Structure 1
Amino acid sequence: MSTPTLLRRRYVSKSVVVQQSSVPPGYRRNSLLAWAHDETGTLDIRHALTTDTISDALMIGELVQLVNAGVLSGQQQFEDAAIGLILTCGDSPDSCWQAFYKNSLAELESGRSPFAPIHRRALSLLRGSHVLEVGSCFGFFALRAAAAGFNVSACDISPGAVTLLGTAAGHLDLSVHTQVGNAVELPYPSDSADTVTLIHLLEHLTDQVDVAIDEALRVARRRVVIAVPFEEVPSPHFGHHQQLTSETLVTWAAHADHRGARIFTDHGGWLVLQPPCV
């Protein structure tokens, strides 16, 4: 597999080319993005996003429009396009990522992001002082929990995502203890965090969901908080593999060793578990 390259606000991967530029003749426009296929069939996306405008919600909204138009397909191409938009919005990768984090957190805090209600509910469910976010991805929730005064740890299976989160936390002067880790084999001792969160993680697993929940219960002293999207069809571009319902959460709770479960709906499904030691 070829390594993506970045040069003069032009990002090239195996599946997509992304460039900050004016729109050439013959390109089709879809909201803020324009696109065409080059002579090799590679998707070429042009945009005018800058460090003032780039954000997670804006980026995802624009790319989902391309998915719905049949232009983007699959998780890898979606992720390549997303990284391309971020890295071509400014003069350097560091300035691009700093702007992406700053603007995305501002969207979440103001409520303008579609994910803001999920963060708001998750923050309200935290108990104790030490929070572990499992499957942190970019780590927006971990950063917001740290900003709210919690002692936060975060792990993700992607080393790149863990590095980005650690760097962002440093730029924002927030303390987040990051570590590469798999949800089905968490690199933490038993009873080492008050609350363990799995926010929009389990829909990415094809199996071993019960193992991931058991691991979270092992590490949590007081509470495990699980949130999942309810979709009519799982979104392959987001890497979702399961269609989940309230009945799914009931089944997960029935399979887990816990001392209490609460299931409810709020912008998706929620399962809150008390570890057996509580």
Structure 2
Amino acid sequence: MTTVNADAATPTELNVLVRPLPDYPDAERAYSRSSSLLWRRSAGAVEILHPWTERTISDSVMVASLSELVELGVLSGQEQFEDAAVQMICSSAASEESAWRAYYLNSINELDNGTSPFSPVHRRARSLIAGHEVLEVGCCFGFFALACARDGHSVRACDISPGAIDLLTTASASLRIDVDACVGNALALPYPDDHVDTVTLIHLLEHLDVQDTTVAVTEALRVARHRVVIAVPFEEEPTEHFGHLLRLTEDDLRLWADRVDHAGAEIFTDHGGWLILTPHR
């Protein structure tokens, strides 16, 4: 691994350009190396070369390879990380349409077969669903929603990002996995009371301000008929490039359970923290 030149421009001042490795057959001599990527700073930009193809691109390899560049100081902050991620995905196949389809298919397959580091969280969350109808709040790309739909559930999903919802809607149609996705804010869910059996907030609350976490949990309880499933990471420090704002512990789960109106709560640890709430019905 190569250390960052202290005299170079800081990462936040640089544009990010991500390209597939085959375009640069002599790249070994001109670039520094992480375990899976090549990179260099040149002409006011960070250039990144990746080996991922339509067969190999997935969420787990994208996150792992770019997180290593964050550790090296090559990338900094959520905006740069997400910019690099989108470019990496889109350049992994001959067309953006093919690239996104491959990214989605490979990612949900890895989550399902256990080869993704996030698989244990998905497995536990899917095992906690009560009833047939599921709403994933803060779905981002919507891998969990798609997995639940593939399990046979009737699935809705919402996220505050219109771009994420567009990607999920396209992937749902392309993969023929039915998910009803819409733009929605976790603090004011666009659904009526008692709308679905289970509402999930999987690794969402760490992205919110402290005051907003209670609002989001209250909204989930309003919409859920039988269960609210909450999962959060336990981190030494919030991961900036993932957009995490809060460092959460079991004490925070207990505080949420104490602050909202419910008919029962269960708190446990399994690859992070879990809070399972039963609404009053």
After superposing the two structures, state which structure 1 stretch, 21-30 or 108-117, moved more: 21-30
Q: How many residues are aligned here?
A: 263
Hey, what does 1:243 align to over in structure 2? 247
Hey, what does 2:10 align to over in structure 1? none
Hey, what does 2:130 align to over in structure 1? 127
Matching residue's letter, 1:113: S
Spell out, residue by residue over 1:214-233, the C-alpha distance to the aligned partner (whole angstroms, 9 max, x if none): 00000000000000000001
CA shift, 1:15, in A, is 2.9
Spell out, residue by residue over 1:140-196, the C-alpha distance to the aligned partner (whole angstroms, 9 max, x if none): 000000000100000000011001111111111111101100000000000001000
Residues in 2 aligned to 1:57 and 1:35: alpha-carbon distance in whole angstroms: 20
- 1:148-227 alignment, distance < 5 Å: 148-207=151-210, 208-227=212-231
Task: Determine whether 1:105 maps to 2:105.
Answer: no
Hey, what does 1:116 align to over in structure 2? 119
Higher helix proportion: 2
Hey, what does 1:16 align to over in structure 2? 16
CA shift, 1:25, in A, is 3.2
Hey, what does 2:47 align to over in structure 1? 44
CA shift, 1:254, in A, is 0.4
Residues in 2 aligned to 1:75 and 1:276: alpha-carbon distance in whole angstroms: 38
Residues in 1 aligned to 2:43 and 2:154: alpha-carbon distance in whole angstroms: 52
Task: Determine whether 1:70 maps to 2:106.
Answer: no
Residues in 2 aligned to 1:191 and 1:139: alpha-carbon distance in whole angstroms: 22
Q: Mark the runs of 5 or more structure 2 residues left unpaired by the alignment.
A: 1-13
Contact 1:126–1:195 under 8 Å retained in 2: yes
Give runs of ≥4 in structure 1 deviating > 6 Å. none
- 1:46-61 alignment, distance < 5 Å: 46-61=49-64
Contact 1:15–1:80 under 8 Å retained in 2: no
CA shift, 1:264, in A, is 0.2
Spell out, residue by residue over 1:71-108, the C-alpha distance to the aligned partner (whole angstroms, 9 max, x if none): 11100000001001100111111000011011111111
Q: Mark the runs of 5 or more structure 1 residues left unpaired by the alignment.
A: 1-13
2:89 equivalent among 86, 89, 114: 86
The 3-state SS of whatever aligns with 1:276 is coil
CA shift, 1:48, in A, is 2.2
Hey, what does 2:34 align to over in structure 1? 30
CA shift, 1:24, in A, is 5.9
CA shift, 1:236, in A, is 0.2
Identity of aligned residues (%): 56
Residues in 1 aligned to 2:50 and 2:33: alpha-carbon distance in whole angstroms: 10
The 3-state SS of whatever aligns with 2:53 is coil
The 3-state SS of whatever aligns with 1:51 is coil
The 3-state SS of whatever aligns with 2:261 is coil
Taking structure 1 as the reference length, the TM-score comes to: 0.93
Taking structure 2 as the reference length, the TM-score comes to: 0.92
Contact 1:250–1:263 under 8 Å retained in 2: yes
Q: What's the Cα RMSD here?
A: 1.0
